[in-house]
Amino acid sequence: MLMVYLAGPEVFLPDAIELGARKKRLCSAYGFEGLFPLDNEIVQEPSGERLDRLIYRANEAMIRRADFGICNLTPFRGISADPGTVFEVGMLAGLGKRVFAYTNVAQHYIERVKRKETLAFDSARNVWRDADDMTVEDFGNADNLMVDWAVAEHGGVPIVRHDAPLSDIQRDLCGFETCLRLAAEVFAKSA
């Protein structure tokens, strides 16, 4: 049975364990074994090693053990996805594993930036600039182009973009289930 690493900021929710269990049940329904980061249940070692370092090592080991990943790229604490999850997209791609991803906010990246601040159009370069004079990517992507294209190139399908109800934005699993369906199709073809 293929193992899938379940990356996403839901590890920060008070009900992370329950949500992880829901994700793992859905994985089973599609014939996969889900690996949820909290499974590691890190315990402080007598060595006194820092807890955050132990968590990092356990998560990296879990990513290496996985056959592929499904990453939750819903905007987190700002305009972009959770940096921990984005790091994991990169590590999965670097390890040559397939990456599927979803976001519970369908808007283009630039639309989210525009909601936060007024942009200026630089007609000499034909780009939008923010208050720091920095280009705002306008390719119709969900996030920075490196993230969108890593998923499209290393997963074979673009980031799944679905507008979840605002009250359920960190917990909605429609996009997640779409990723499972896509992964099942991709692996059935390559089997």
Whole-Å CA distances, 180 to 26, 104, 125, 164, 191: 8, 15, 41, 17, 16
CB contact at 8 A, 142 and 109: yes
| Closer to a copy of itself by Cβ: residue 41 or 132 | 132
Edge-to-edge strand order for the sheet containing 98-103?
Answer: 33-35, 3-7, 68-72, 98-103, 160-161
Q: How far apart are CA 99 and CA 179, in angstroms?
A: 10
Q: How far apart are CA 44 and CA 22, in angstroms?
A: 27
| Binding of a copy of itself by 146 (CB under 8 A) | yes
The structure tokens listed for 117 are 């601040």
| Binding of a copy of itself by 129 (CB under 8 A) | yes
Closest CA to 172 of 102, 82, 76, 83: 102
The dihedrals phi and psi of 176, each to the nearest 5 degrees, come to: -60, -45
Least separation, in Å, of the C-beta of 47 and a copy of itself?
A: 16
Least separation, in Å, of the C-beta of 80 and a copy of itself?
A: 5
| Binding of a copy of itself by 128 (CB under 8 A) | no
Write each residue from 60 to 99 as x if it is in contact with a copy of itself (CB under 8 A), else as -, in one continuous string. Answer: x---------------xxxxxxxxx-xxxxxxxxxxx---
Among 45, 49, 111, 122, binds a copy of itself (CB under 8 A): 122
Question: Going by C-beta distance under 8 Å and a sequence separation of 6 or more, which residues neighbour residue 169?
Answer: 74, 104, 105
Least separation, in Å, of the C-beta of 31 and a copy of itself?
A: 25
Among 17, 111, 121, 139, binds a copy of itself (CB under 8 A): 139
| Binding of a copy of itself by 17 (CB under 8 A) | no
Least separation, in Å, of the C-beta of 126 and a copy of itself?
A: 12
| Binding of a copy of itself by 14 (CB under 8 A) | yes
The residues of the shown chain that bind a copy of itself, judged by CB under 8 A, are 9, 12-14, 50-53, 55-57, 59-60, 76-84, 86-96, 113, 122, 125, 129-130, 132-137, 139, 141, 143-150, 152-153, 170
